[in-house]
Structure 1
Amino acid sequence: MVQFKVFKKASPNGKLTIYMGRRDFVDHVSAVDPVDGVVVIDPSYLQGRRIFGQLVCSFRYGREEDEVMGLNFQKDLYLACEQIYPPKEDTEPTKLQERLIKKLGANSYAFTFKMPEQAPPSITIQPGRDDEGKPCGVEYYIKVYVGDNAEDRSHKRSTVQLNVRRIQFAPSKSGRQPTTIVRKDFLMSPGELELEVSLDKQLYYHNEKIAINATIRNHSNKTVKKIKAAVQQSVDICLFSGGQYRSNVASVETQEGCPVTPGSALQKVLYLTPTLSSNMDRRGIALDGHLKNIHTNLASSTLLANPENRDIFGMVISYTVKVKLYLGAMGGEVTAELPFVLMHPKPDMRALMRSDSQAQVEAFRSESMGASVDQD
């Protein structure tokens, strides 16, 4: 028996209830899925007032426990604000909204928010074990409330807030195979030490093994004693100038094939798999934004339509492979870096939406059919 799910959340006084068919909305780089759902209201509670809805992007860039002396490390950006009830005449519900309204009754009304193309993806910065309060990162939520006008201060008992996610999937086409050559000469040495590094592809999916091909050609009088490879995650906080943080999320160190003496060469393949499971205790690692009861992973690479046009509230995630040769205390090091993309594969959205639209509506028809409603 198939278990279907529709997301539901009610206000504390039970007078407003949100129903949504999904909480993940895809950023396709060139366009973003609209945020849609249905709200059911108790008309006797309104007494001439209206229902308003907002789509909010909340950016926390500092720990909540450090907010003293009036400091506030959270900024909320209101991306959209719409009147839901009384409904506007030009409001045209989607097929899923039409079916939900038909099932939920006459006191249900559709809402749709357009998410700006330049808004950042959902990201959570992993807190430390002793950290308290909300973690740093970017999150989105829908807020529906009762008021006389959109600027009215909402009351907690008659307000519903439901978190949603903005996510990105891997592009359909991968870029060129990453490769680089680093040559270093040394004082009092007639030749160079050459390090060539390449990856088998540019785009990797989460939990996929990365093959790092390293070739060392030693034309110098130095000796390579050790090789280290690491996957480095970079978090660029756009709000700050120079606010970039780097963390190694996977690494391997080897002396196999070493020492690489003057006049010799070595070709080696190193394997790394960056995963959250191996970084569970690492404070400051960026994760994909997560919702209740949804397991997450390392943050996906951020795709930007224009790298120069970054949202000030965003965090841009990127990954590089770093290979380092150790030449001993007197010889120093030789380092090569290669960028790559780490993301989830893009699902078949048409098939997914076709199956989900009907399944989500069927969830209301009968509990005996295995339907379920997730109450956040």
Structure 2
Amino acid sequence: MSSKVVFKKMSKDKSVGVYMAKRDFVDHVDYVDPVDGIILIDPEIIKRKKAFVQLSCTFRYGRDDMDVMGIAFRREIFMATRQVYPPIQDTERSTHNKMQKKLLHKLGNNAYPFFFEFPDNLPCSVGMQPGPKDTGKHCAVEFEVKAFSAESQDAQVSKRSSVRLMIRKVQYAPEKSGVPPCVETSRDFVMSENPLHLEASLDKETYYHGEPINVRVNITNNSNKNVKNVIVSVDQVANVVLYSNDSYVRAVALEESGDTVLAGATLTRVYILTPLLSCNQERRGIALDGKLKHEDTNLASSSIVKEGVLKEILGILVSYRVMVKLIVAGILGSSEVGVELPFTLMHPKPDSEVRESEPEEEMVFKDFKRTYLKGMTDDEEEGNVSTGDAAS
């Protein structure tokens, strides 16, 4: 019999608990997987209070302790709240899939379903890597499910009566890849009758994380100048579009080949580069996928934006390009001849992506505890990737 992991987390006073069958929710561009689960309440502890569940998307652009004159360095992009207890509608109408039905049967009469639909204009989970000595939460897009008991939706909520789980909104590579990038350029030089010609191409448009990228370079040097070096890099471009339109360009893979092409000569070579986080872990300003624990993170995936969506509200947009530069020797100093090849870097769609639980699957409950987090105490909140985040 196969098993299905169900994640659970209880508030400290045991008044509410959250049960979810997954914490990754896929943005298919045309639609986004809904967020659903079960809230378990203890009526003896809640008494006359109500129970609520909340889905939020927050853009942080500074540590929590950087608040200045009461202005927090964070912005709520989206927030929706539902009352689950006492239920506003009957359980059947609130139940949307088989896993919820199985959990309701398993957990008994004090379990109640919840369901949220994502707007199609929200960013994906992504965060900017802090420096080695930085601490706390930093620039990131975060998603959170929060359950709490209170007198009303707007009442002050005790931390002991609430429970929070970080979730992710992710995208996978499209099933059909685009046309393999190819670009060429020619450069004329003073006192040279013929140009220097450079052509570069990739073998495909979409690459998966950890996959080597083959860059084919053809150089025809009909000029009277010498090419003294060929530099090939993979650049990550992260545009923070929500608050200041900052742009971070980082070479996440680099090869300074030292190849030379003398006047009148040619060169054809394939350079192989593999962009990996393991080679960039100490560098500030690298965009990372908003993973739920640090050991499970990687370079941020390329952003795919639905047509018509305002980019200004998407937080952090990530793209990649291959840069090929020729360093050309000259009497008055060196000059550069270069081209760029944009490409997509993403995860492939998993074979087991989000299937409805089959009746014969056995549910295995797995706790999320703050004490699992490296370097964090039980009183600290779950954080984004920059602090280690929730362990699974």
Q: Give 1:28 deviation, angstroms.
A: 0.4
After superposition, what is the alpha-carbon deviation per residue over 1:216-262, rounded to whole angstroms, capped at 9, x for unaligned? 11122211010000000011111245411110100001123x1x122
After superposition, what is the alpha-carbon deviation per residue over 1:40-89, rounded to whole angstroms, capped at 9, x for unaligned? 00112233322111111111123445444444221123332211112232
8 A Cα contact 2:98 2:356, kept in partner:
no
Q: How does 1:152-191 map to 2 (within 5 A)?
A: 152-191=155-194
Give the structure 1 partner of residue 197 of structure 2.
194
Secondary structure at the aligned position of 2:231 is classed as strand
Q: State the alpha-carbon separation in 2 of the partners of residues 294 and 311 from structure 1.
A: 31
2:173 matches 1:151: no
Secondary structure at the aligned position of 1:99 is classed as helix
Give the structure 2 partner of residue 20 of structure 1.
20
Give the structure 2 partner of residue 225 of structure 1.
228
Give the structure 1 partner of residue 215 of structure 2.
212
Q: Return the letter of the residue paired with 1:305.
A: K
2:9 matches 1:9: yes
Q: Return the letter of the residue paired with 2:273.
A: L
8 A Cα contact 1:79 1:116, kept in partner:
no
Q: Return the letter of the residue paired with 2:38.
A: V
Secondary structure at the aligned position of 1:101 is classed as helix
Secondary structure at the aligned position of 2:7 is classed as strand
After superposition, what is the alpha-carbon deviation per residue over 1:152-173, rounded to whole angstroms, capped at 9, x for unaligned? 2222111111110001000000
2:272 matches 1:271: yes
Q: TM-score, normalised by structure 1?
A: 0.91
Give the structure 2 partner of residue 346 of structure 1.
349
Q: Return the letter of the residue paired with 2:270.
A: V
Change (3 A) 1:11 1:59: same
Q: TM-score, normalised by structure 2?
A: 0.87
Q: Return the letter of the residue paired with 2:280.
A: N
Q: How does 1:1-376 map to 2 (within 5 A)?
A: 5-89=5-89, 90-256=93-259, 258=260, 260-292=261-293, 295-306=296-307, 309-328=310-329, 330-349=333-352, 353-354=355-356, 359=361, 361-363=362-364, 372-375=366-369
Gaps of 5+ in 1: 365-371
Q: State the alpha-carbon separation in 2 of the partners of residues 267 and 244 from structure 1.
A: 33
8 A Cα contact 2:3 2:363, kept in partner:
no
Q: State the alpha-carbon separation in 2 of the partners of residues 166 and 19 from structure 1.
A: 18
Q: State the alpha-carbon separation in 2 of the partners of residues 356 and 298 from structure 1.
A: 34
**Matched positions, count:** 365
- Aligned-pair identity in percent equals 43
Q: State the alpha-carbon separation in 1 of the partners of residues 360 and 113 from structure 2.
A: 17
Change (3 A) 1:201 1:28: same
Change (3 A) 1:98 1:355: closer
After superposition, what is the alpha-carbon deviation per residue over 1:136-186, rounded to whole angstroms, capped at 9, x for unaligned? 211100111122332222221111111100010000000001000122222
Change (3 A) 1:357 1:286: farther
Q: State the alpha-carbon separation in 1 of the partners of residues 107 and 357 from structure 2.
A: 20
8 A Cα contact 1:5 1:373, kept in partner:
no
Q: State the alpha-carbon separation in 1 of the partners of residues 338 and 104 from structure 2.
A: 60
8 A Cα contact 2:16 2:161, kept in partner:
yes
Q: State the alpha-carbon separation in 1 of the partners of residues 334 and 224 from structure 2.
A: 10
Q: State the alpha-carbon separation in 2 of the partners of residues 357 and 75 from structure 1.
A: 42
Change (3 A) 1:39 1:126: same
Q: State the alpha-carbon separation in 2 of the partners of residues 346 and 356 from structure 1.
A: 21
